[in-house]
Amino acid sequence: MKEYRVGLDIDGCVLQTYEPFLKETNKRHGTNFKFSDMTSYGVDKIVGITVEELIDIFASIDDRDSPLCDPNCPKVIDNLRSEGYIIELVTAHIPHKTMLFDPLLEALDNYKINYDLITFVDNRSNTVKGQMASLFDYMLDDAPHHIMEMGVYTKAILYDAPYNVNVDIPSVWARVPNWTRLEQLLLDDVK
């Protein structure tokens, strides 16, 4: 059986980190922003905060408060692994200020995300994920700028979000609205 390497972004694809982010932002500023309001990837501008505060809020949230983007995600990962796919998480996740990555690993564990490998990349670089793309047969991400770079080297799959639905990305291989569709797409592609 040929093994296919699948690179998965965490934030906005596996864990819905925008939920605790918006909760904290709304608490700090007395606002009522919802995920559906995030119609541009520059969410700092949408909610009216600086990039520094955005980073500060992301670094303050507890990953265990992030729900799954799709409740089917753990099952789909298990199914794909049983079909010979290697599942690697690639993330520029901002570590928690005091607890580093432990809450994230615990959240993945709590949700029974059975990945093969996790790689942390520098969150100050916008290009490092794109540079890694040639290592993978497929990569999933929700950020338009990452998909744009990845698509040159691999089959780049965009996970639907309000901030990417209206963005035209020539190098995108496919778009998926949920994990069930992602599973079908990958299994059908190698038939």
135's CB contacts (< 8 A; 6+ apart) are 5, 7
By CB under 5 A, residue 183 contacts Mg ion: no
Residue 9 or residue 183: which is nearer to Mg ion going by CB?
Answer: 9
By CB under 5 A, residue 70 contacts Mg ion: no
Alpha-carbon span 171 to 69, nearest angstrom: 24
Pair of tokens at residue 100: 């580093």
Distance of closest approach, residue 11 Cβ to Mg ion, in angstroms: 4
By CB under 5 A, residue 9 contacts Mg ion: yes
Residue 9 or residue 70: which is nearer to Mg ion going by CB?
Answer: 9
Residue 47 or residue 150: which is nearer to Mg ion going by CB?
Answer: 150
Distance of closest approach, residue 7 Cβ to Mg ion, in angstroms: 12
Alpha helix (H) residue ranges in the chain: 18-29, 43-47, 51-60, 73-82, 102-110, 128-132, 144-150, 179-189
Binder of Mg ion out of 12, 103, 130, 151 (CB under 5 A): 12
By CB under 5 A, residue 7 contacts Mg ion: no
By CB under 5 A, residue 63 contacts Mg ion: no
Distance of closest approach, residue 141 Cβ to Mg ion, in angstroms: 6
Interface region with Mg ion, contact rule CB under 5 A, candidates 37-45, 102-110, 142-150, 163-171: 142-150
By CB under 5 A, residue 149 contacts Mg ion: no
49-53: Cβ within 8 A, 24+ apart: 49/25
Alpha-carbon span 29 to 45, nearest angstrom: 14
Would strands 174-176 and 155-159 be described as parallel, antiparallel, or unpaired? parallel
By CB under 5 A, residue 130 contacts Mg ion: no
Alpha-carbon span 130 to 128, nearest angstrom: 5
Binder of Mg ion out of 11, 63, 70, 149 (CB under 5 A): 11
Measuring CA to CA, which residue among 134, 143, 133 is closest to residue 167?
143
Name the residue with the smallest CB distance to Mg ion.
Answer: 12
User: Interface residues with Mg ion (CB under 5 A)?
Assistant: 9, 11-12, 142
